[in-house]
Structure 1
Amino acid sequence: MSSTPDTLPRISRPDVDSVLVGVLNAGGGEGQEAVADAVVSHWRSVEWPQGLVSVNCFTSTQNGQVLTYEQWASEETLQKSLLNESGFRAAPGAAAGSGGLVPYRLYQVVRGTAVSDPPPPARSFPVAAFPMEGHEAARRWIADLLASEEAAAGADRAYPGAIAANIHIALDGGSVLIFSEWLSAEEAITHMQIVTKAMLMDVGNSEDDLGSLYVHHATLTR
């Protein structure tokens, strides 16, 4: 694998079929950095399983969590990896988050139009997961959410600092994950408080579902 200080995550890679997302509760501060470093060190020290394309690691700015976002070339190789010990389970000094390890597939990318093309590097990553009752319910919820956004704010999505909202559906249909990319935390927070909160309430969710803000810690690629 390769990694340099300027290696950044590529969420919508064309060579990725499925992703594996996990959250570790690390307690914040030095403990959070130590857990994130342990995840990265693990994947640098072992032979990668077949099909693993990249490992991306993020730290929360709010609640001491470490998020891992593994990208896999196929669902088959991802599912096979779940039978073996992973970097997520190997990280010391942390407890698994309530969601555990969840396999997803990227379903839709909604891009902001107020940034250049190609966009500058993202510096803030809002992440939120929503429980669903199957694939049909998940697709319907996404359509309703985006329709609510367009009705309230228009279809151009020229939000300052917005790069993309990467919408995933769990392989079992049990949840939707929205993994967004923003130029800054300040712009992301403003959008979440003004636009996202209203969208969620419109489709029956609450502001408690806004999720967490993360910053990029490291990316390793094959």
Structure 2
Amino acid sequence: MADAPSPFPDVARTDAGVALVTPLYVGGPGPQRAEVERVLAPYRNGSLPEGFLSVSVFTSTEGENVLTYAQWTSDDAYRAFVRDGGLGEPDENTTEPVRYKLYRGRVLEPGSVPTVLVTPVFDVDGRDRQRRSIDNLIDGPLGTPFPGLVGSHFHISLDGTRVLNWAEWVDEDAHVGFMKSSRPKECLEAITMPGVRGIGGKRYVLAGAVTR
């Protein structure tokens, strides 16, 4: 019997002090699988480190990228783990995670189970633009249900330069339908202001996870 798929991380868990997000281009399905195993290995071998809550690794549906989402009680706890060699020796390909915290979110289809993650990112000029762009979306076009959109959970980077929309979908077809609707245009209009620049996002599926 096949193992049941791991659930998506609980991005709203109250004990998470920081979310560490690492997008990485790897080039193909084989490197995707290898990167998933590399990321999860330190948490599968031995006891879980102090301050660790969860790590979830997603692979993009086009077969070229990997996204890691890790929750820790604090950034200090994560840095201590790295300093003590918990991730092994860094190399030239090591990517530093972007540090986020959850700002606002809205669940639109309670009870639906997400299987696809979409991660639009905005480049912003400061904390005011972080909050204003998110508020405009949640209080506007992303505050209204759309078929298959389970929820949107907006994160702000601790350095004030990024916004991440953690959008959970029931399946890929639901997101394709969204992109063909008028809603993306409404979202773009909601964040059209000085100091906010859309970077784009990809579709991902969960490849593996470890949770305390």
TM-score by length of 1: 0.79
Tell me, in whole angstroms, the C-alpha distance in 2 between the residues paired with 1:77 and 1:66.
24
State the Cα deviation string for residues 46-82 of structure 1 (Å, max 9, x = none): 5433111011010011251111100112343245456
The CA RMSD over aligned residues, in Å, is: 2.9
Deviations 1:74-118 (A, max 9, x none): 34324545656565986x9x9467xx4111101111121xx3x3x
Q: 2:148 aligns with which of 161, 167, 179?
A: 161
Equivalent position of 1:204 in the other structure: 192
Any conservation in 2 of the 1:17–1:72 contact (CA below 8 Å)? yes
Query: Shift of residue 22 of structure 1?
Result: 0.4
In the superposition, relative to structure 1, how do residues 79 and 177 fare at CA in structure 2: closer, same or farther (>3 Å)? farther
Please say if 1:131 is aligned against 2:130. Answer: no
Give the AA of the match of 2:206: H
Moved more, 168-177 or 189-198: 189-198
The structural deviation recorded for 1:176 is 0.7
- Aligned mates of 2:204, 2:89 — CA distance in 1: 20
1:12 deviation in Å?
A: 1.8
Cα deviation, residue 186, structure 1 = 0.8
Q: Which amino acid aligns with 1:198?
A: E
Q: Gapped runs of 5+ residues in structure 1?
A: none
Alpha-carbon shift at residue 132 of structure 1 (Å): 1.7
Q: Does 1:55 align with 2:51?
A: no
Distance change (3 Å), C-alpha of 1:60 and 1:49: same
Alignment of 1:73-152 (within 5 A): 73-81=73-81, 83=83, 87=87, 95=93, 100-112=96-108, 115=109, 117=110, 119-149=111-141
Tell me the equivalent position of 1:19. Answer: 19
The Cα offsets for residues 13-49 of structure 1, whole Å up to 9 and x where unpaired, read as 2222211000121112222122112222232125433
Contact 1:108 1:166 in 2 (8 A): yes
CA offset at residue 211 of structure 1? Answer: 0.7
Does structure 2 conserve the Cα–Cα contact (< 8 Å) formed by 1:43 and 1:87?
A: no
Determine the structure 2 residue equivalent to 1:41. Answer: 41
Given the alignment, which residue of 160, 163, 169 partners 1:182? 169
Q: State the match for 1:170 in structure 2.
A: 157
Structure 2 portions without partners, runs of 5+: none
The amino acid of 1:36's aligned partner reads: V
- Alignment of 1:28 with 2:16, yes or no, is no
Aligned identity (percent) is 27
The change in CA–CA distance for 1:89 and 1:164 in structure 2 (over 3 A counts) is farther
User: For residue 119 of structure 2, what is the amino acid of its counterpart?
Assistant: V
Give the total of aligned pairs. Answer: 206
The structure with the largest helix share of the pair is 1
165-174 or 33-42: which moved more? 33-42
